[in-house]
Amino acid sequence: MLIIRNVRCLTFAVGLKARPDAKGERRLSQNCSSVQMTVHFAGGSVASGAPTVTYRFSENIMRFLLNVLLVTASLIAMPLVKSAQLLAAQQPAAQEPAAQEPAAQSPAAQPRAAQQPTTESQVVDKIVTREQEEMRLIRQFSPLVETYVQNFRENKHLGAVPDGDKYLLGRADFSRGVEVVSLNDTQSKNKNFLGSMGNFFAFGKQYVPAGFLQMVFIDSDGFNQGNYKFTYVRREFLGEVRCLVFDLTPLPKTGKGRFVGRIWVEDQDYSIVRFNGSFGPASLTSYYFSFDSWRVNTGKKQWLPAFIYSQQGDFQDAQTKSMAFKPFKAQTRLWGYAPGGVGEEQELTKLLVETPVKDQAEKADDYSPLLAERSWARQAEDNVMDSMERLGLMAPYGDVDKVLETVVNNLEVTNDLDIQPEVRCRVLMTSTLESFTIGHTIVLSRGLIDVLPDEASLAAIIAHEFGHVLLGHHMDTQFGFFNHLRFDEKETFSHFGFGSTHEEEQAANRKGAELLSKSPYKDQTGTARLFLQALKDRSKDIPNLISPHLGDRVPTNWAIASESSAQPSAEKPAANVIAALPLGGRVKIEPWSGRLQMLKSKPVSAVAEYEKIPFEITPFVLFLTRQGDSSSTEVVGAASAKSDANTRP
C-alpha cells in the first residue's frame, strides 16, 4: 500500500495460496485455480506478508504531488479495480500447478465446482443417489422379459453341451416389486413360488421367473453406504462409455441377499451401467447364482436393464453336487419399454401435405368380389401384425425384415412369380425356433434367424414358408373383425395359432424344394442340409427351444437334397464348416422400442471344434453408446472393455 500524506491509494497483489485437502480425503483429478485481489486502505488491516512502502518528501513537494494525485487517482483507480476483477474471473485453471489449490474460489467458479464431486466419498454419494432415482424410473415400466435356461453336461471332446432347457416369457410388473406375469406357462400362473427375492429356485428345484428378473436391481431396498463398502478399482471403457469401476462388499450384520461383486458407473451422471456378481449368502431355502447384468442408454440420464447372463455350477464343483441341480447357463432379455410403441406416437405427429384432387372418373376404383376377398384377408393380416406389435411380440418393421424380403424377391424373380398381394416378411421377437405364415406374410422368429449359418440356409426356411403362400394354405380371416382382437394378454398364445397340418407341411416341403431348385441358392443348399441335421441331432437336448408357440417346428426331416441338389444328403461337414450359430449370432435388440438390427461383428479367422457351440447360450458383451452417439447398443462377440489400471477416479 502506497501512502502519500492524506491521499489514499490502491495496490493489488495477485498470488496463489495452497490449501490442504479436507479430512485427508483422496481427491479426483481436477485442477482448480483462482486469482486473489487484495485492496489495502490506510488505517485498515494489511494481508499477511504484504509489503508497505512509505516515501517521505519535503512539505513543498508533498503539496505539489497532492494536487497531481487528486486528479489521477479519480481517473485511474476505478478502471484498475474492474481490470483486476475481470482478470480474476478469466484466469485459466491450467496455469496453476497441480499440487496447489486456491485459498478461495471466485464466485463464478463456485457453482461449477459444486456440480462435480471431487472426492471418492462424494462420488459414492452420487452413485447411490442416482441408483435410487434409476429404481424409481424403472418401476414405471412393464417390459417383456424372456429367460432361456440351458442345463449342460460334460462331453469328453466338446466340453459342456446342452442337456435339457427351460423357456420363460412374461410381462414384468416393476410397480409391484419384482413380479412376472407368465405368457407361455399358464398352468403355473397360480402357483405360489417359495423363497426370497433373488431366489432362483422354488420348492422342488424349479426355476422362478422373478428370480432371474431380480437381477435388474443391485439392491432394491438397501443400496447405500450404510450397508456396503465401496472400493475404487480403476477407470474402464465399455464401448464408447467411460466408466468408474468399484467393488462392493456388504458390511457385517446387514442382512442376507446383499449384492457381492463389481459395478461399472458411467462418469457423467454416475449411473450404474453394469454389475457383475451374486447375491448372498445362500440358505437352505434359497440359492443365489452368479450373473452379469447390463443396462443400455435410452435417453438423457436413462439407463434401462436390457441383458443378463447367468451361470452356475461346474462338473468338478462340489457345491453344485451337494445342491443336487445340474450346471446351467441362462440369458435374460428385456424389451418393449416404450408404452404403446414408438411408431404410434410418431404417426400422430407426422405432417401430411395433401395434393390437389384430380378427376379420376375413368379410373377403375371399384372392388370386384375377388379383390374384396383379397383386401379382407390383407386386413386380417394387418390386424394380427398390429396387435402383436403392440404387445411387443412382433418387431417393428425394419432392417431385418428387408433382408428377409430380399431373399423372397430372389425366389420370386428366378421362379418367374408375380404374387398379389405382395409377400411380406416380419420377425417374431422370441428366441424359440419357429416360422409360419399369416396369409401372404412370412414370419420367422428372432431365435431362428440368429442360429442360421448363412443366406442359403435362410433361403431354405423362407422357401418352405413361401410354399405355404403359393399353395394358398388357409388363415383365419375372422381377425378382420376388430372384436376378435380383444383378449387378455396372458391368453395370447392360445388366442393366436398359425400352425399347419402335417399334410400342409409336406406339401410346403415339396414346393419349397422346387423353388430352391430354380433359385440362386440351388448350388449352396449343403449348409442348409447341415443345419437341419444339426438341429435334428440336438433336438432331444433343447426341447423347449425348438417348441413353437404360434407356428410350426423347423422341418428337420425335409430332404432338400433329393429335389434341389444332386449331392448325397448323408455328407459330413468339413472341419471348418459351422452348421449352426449360437443364440444371438445374427440379430441385436433395441430394448426401448424393440427394433431389431443385423449384428455387425468382427470376422473370426479360425474356430476350434469346441467353439462351434450350435444353438447354445453365450455371455453378453455390449458395446455401450450414449443416445445420439451412434445407432444403438451393440452386442459384440469379443470384449470391448479397455482398462487403464493406472488411472484413479
Percent of the chain clearing pLDDT 90 (strictly above) = 45
Which pLDDT band holds residue 312 (cuts at 50, 70, 90)? confident
Assigned C-alpha cell, 191: 402357483
Average pLDDT over residues 289-306: 92
* Residue 248 backbone dihedrals phi, psi, to 5 degrees: -110, 130
Assess whether pLDDT exceeds 90 at residue 274.
yes
> Given this model, what pLDDT does residue 233 score?
96
pLDDT of residue 204 exceeding 60, the answer is no
**Band of pLDDT at residue 351, cut at 50, 70 and 90:** low
- What pLDDT does residue 519 have? 94
Vertex 27: Cα angle to 26 and 31 (nearest 5):
155
- Match 442348409 to its residue by C-alpha cell: 528
Q: Which residue has the cell 449348409?
A: 527
Residue at 36: amino acid letter? Q
Cα 5–Cα 11–Cα 14 angle in degrees, nearest 5? 160
pLDDT band at 339 (very low <50, low <70, confident <90, very high): low
Place of cell 435417453: 299
pLDDT > 50? residue 112: no
Work out the average pLDDT over 388-406: 95
Using DSSP, state whether 437 is helix, strand or coil: strand
Domain with CATH 2.50.20 in the chain: 121-337
**Window from 160-164, 176-180, 378-382, 640-644 with minimum mean pLDDT:** 640-644
The answer, yes or no, to whether the previous bond of 421 is cis (omega within 30 of 0) is: yes
Least confident of 19-33, 284-298, 446-460: 19-33
* Distance between CA atoms of residues 535 and 538, nearest Å: 5
Q: What is the mean pLDDT of the chain?
A: 76
Average pLDDT over residues 82-92: 40
d(CA 466, CA 468): 5
CB distance 431 to 335 below 8 Å: no
pLDDT at 569: 45
Q: Is 198 left (phi over 0), alpha (psi -120 to 50) or beta?
A: left
> How far apart are the C-alpha atoms of 185 and 207, rounded to whole Å?
12
Least confident of 60-74, 259-273, 352-366: 60-74
160 pLDDT higher than 60: yes
Predicted TM-score (pTM) of this structure: 0.75
- Whether 399 has a pLDDT exceeding 90, the answer reads yes
pLDDT at 417 over 80: yes
Please tell me the distance from the alpha carbon of residue 457 to that of residue 451, in angstroms, as a whole number.
Answer: 10
User: pLDDT (tens digit, 9 = 90+) per residue, 472-498?
Assistant: 987 888 889 998 889 888 888 889 989
DSSP-derived pairing of the beta strands 424-428 and 441-445:
parallel
- At 23 the pLDDT is 44
The average pLDDT across 260-266 equals 96
Q: Is the pLDDT of residue 94 over 50?
A: no
Instruction: Tell me the helices (H) and strands (E) count for the chain, helix number first.
Output: 14, 23
Least confident range of 59-73, 273-287, 411-425, 602-616: 59-73
pLDDT band at 358 (very low <50, low <70, confident <90, very high): low
Confidence of residue 111 (pLDDT cuts 50, 70, 90): very low
**In the predicted model, what is the mean pLDDT of residues 58-76?**
58
Predicted pLDDT at 178: 80
User: Taking residues 436-461, what's their average pLDDT?
Assistant: 95
Asked if the model's pLDDT at residue 563 lies above 60, the reply is no
Write the pLDDT tens digit of every residue in 601-628.
887 777 878 788 899 999 999 999 998 6
Most confident range (mean pLDDT) of 108-112, 152-156, 441-445 is 441-445
Q: Average pLDDT, stretch 333-350?
A: 68
| pLDDT surpassing 50 at residue 199 | no
**Which whole number is the average pLDDT over 502-522?**
94
pLDDT in tens, 182-192: 888 755 543 43
pLDDT of residue 82: 42
- Residue 439 CA to residue 443 CA, distance in Å, equals 10
pLDDT (average), residues 77-83? 44
Q: Could you tell me the CA-to-CA distances from 613 to 2, 277, 542, 573, 643 in Å, in that order?
A: 86, 25, 13, 15, 29
Specify the CATH number of the domain 121-337: 2.50.20
> Are the C-beta atoms of residues 617 and 150 closer than 8 Å to each other?
yes
Grid coordinates given for 616: 447354445
Question: What are the Cα distances from residue 232, in Å, to 115, 129, 292?
Answer: 21, 17, 19
DSSP β-ladder status, 634-635 and 622-623: antiparallel
Closest CA to 66 of 124, 132, 8: 8
